C-alpha cells in the first residue's frame, strides 16, 4: 500500500505556517487530503488538539499501512517529507546549496518576528502599508538580501526537481518557507528590487499558489 498523507491546516487566509507544507506537497506532486481548522475561534485549540499535540497547525498524519503517526511543526513536516521522498529532491542536491537552503529556511522558521507581527499574512488581500519600525525594515532588507544571494549563487542550478527559476533552481523547501512572505509583501505593497520582484511574481503565479488564493479569498 502507498503511504497516505492527511494534512491538517489552519484558515488559508491567515495560516502562513500551513501554506509551507501544503505548497511543498503540491509542487512535489505528493497526493494528500486536507482537514481545515478555522483559526481565531474560541474552540480552535480544542479542534486542533485531537490532530496535533502541540495545539498548532500544520500537522501531517502519515499512514504507511503499518504504524500510522503524526508529525507537527512546518519544518518537521517538510524535513520528514524530504526524508521519505529522496526522489523528489525537496532540498537542493548540491551540498553547498543544500547547506545554504537549510540555513535560510531555519532563519525564516526562527526569525523575522517583526515582519510576522506587523505584516500578518492576509492572503490575496490588498491592505495599506503600515508605518514600519526600524526592526521590521531591517528584516525586510535581510529577506531581500537572502533572496538575491540565493538566486545569484544558486538560482541557476539545474536540479531534478520541479522547474527552474527558484532560489536553488528547482523548487525546494526554502521556496515553500518564503512563499508566505511573498504573500505578505503583495498584501502590503512592499516593493523590492527587480530580481526579487521577478522571484515574487514567479511564486505568486504558481498554479498551487493560485489554488491557495482562490480558497483564501472565499474565507
Q: Which residues bind ligand GSH (CB under 6 A)?
A: 10, 15-18, 39, 44-45, 56-58, 73-75
Beta strands 33-37 and 59-63 are unpaired
- Cell numbers linked to 13: 487566509
CB-wise, 10 or 92, nearer to ligand GSH?
10
Smallest gap from residue 215 Cβ to ligand GSH (A): 15
DSSP H or E segment with residue 19: helix 16-28
Residue with cell 509583501: 185
At its nearest, how many Å lie between ligand GSH and the CB of residue 162? Answer: 22
DSSP SS3 for 9: strand
Among residues 7 and 200, whose Cβ is nearest to ligand GSH? 7
Nearer to ligand GSH, 21 or 155 (CB): 21
14 vs 154, which CB is nearer to ligand GSH?
14
Helix H or strand E segment including 60: strand 59-63
Distance from CA of residue 62 to its chain's centroid? Answer: 19
* In the complex, least distance from residue 155 CB atom to ligand GSH, rounded to whole angstroms: 25
Query: 71 phi and psi, to 5 degrees?
Result: -120, 135
Per-residue cell: 204: 505568486
φ/ψ region of 191 (left if φ > 0, alpha if ψ in -120 to 50, else beta) reads beta
Give the shortest CB-39-to-ligand GSH separation in angstroms.
4
Question: Which is nearer to ligand GSH, 105 or 196 (by Cβ)?
Answer: 105
Q: Where are the alpha helices (DSSP H) in 121-192?
A: 134-154, 173-188
Least distance to ligand GSH, CB of residue 10, Å: 4
- The helix/strand/coil state of 157 is coil
Strands 69-72 and 59-63: antiparallel
Q: What's the closest the beta carbon of residue 11 comes to ligand GSH, in angstroms?
A: 8
**Is 123 or 168 the residue whose CB approaches ligand GSH more closely?**
123
Amino acid at each position: 500500500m502507498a503511504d497516505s498523507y492527511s494534512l491538517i491546516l489552519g484558515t488559508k487566509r491567515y495560516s502562513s505556517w500551513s501554506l509551507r507544507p501544503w505548497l511543498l506537497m503540491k509542487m512535489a506532486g505528493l497526493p494528500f487530503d486536507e482537514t481545515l481548522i478555522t483559526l481565531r475561534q474560541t474552540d480552535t485549540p480544542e479542534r486542533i488538539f485531537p490532530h496535533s499535540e502541540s495545539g498548532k497547525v500544520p500537522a501531517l498524519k502519515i499512514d504507511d499501512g503499518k504504524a500510522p503517526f503524526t508529525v507537527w511543526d512546518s519544518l518537521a513536516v517538510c524535513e520528514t517529507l524530504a526524508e521519505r521522498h529522496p526522489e523528489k529532491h525537496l532540498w537542493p542536491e548540491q551540498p553547498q546549496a543544500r547547506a545554504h537552503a537549510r540555513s535560510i529556511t531555519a532563519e525564516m522558521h526562527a526569525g523575522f518576528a517583526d515582519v510576522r507581527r506587523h505584516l500578518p499574512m492576509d492572503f490575496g488581500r490588498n491592505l495599506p502599508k503600515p508605518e514600519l519600525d526600524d526592526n521590521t525594515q531591517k528584516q525586510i532588507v535581510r529577506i531581500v538580501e537572502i533572496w538575491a544571494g540565493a538566486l545569484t549563487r544558486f538560482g541557476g542550478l539545474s536540479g531534478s526537481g520541479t522547474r527552474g527559476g527558484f532560489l536553488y533552481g528547482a523548487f525546494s523547501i526554502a521556496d515553500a518557507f518564503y512563499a508566505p512572505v511573498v504573500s505578505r509583501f503583495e498584501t502590503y505593497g512592499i516593493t523590492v528590487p527587480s530580481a526579487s520582484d521577478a522571484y515574487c511574481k514567479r511564486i505568486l503565479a504558481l498554479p498551487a499558489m493560485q489554488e491557495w488564493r482562490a480558497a483564501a479569498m472565499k474565507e
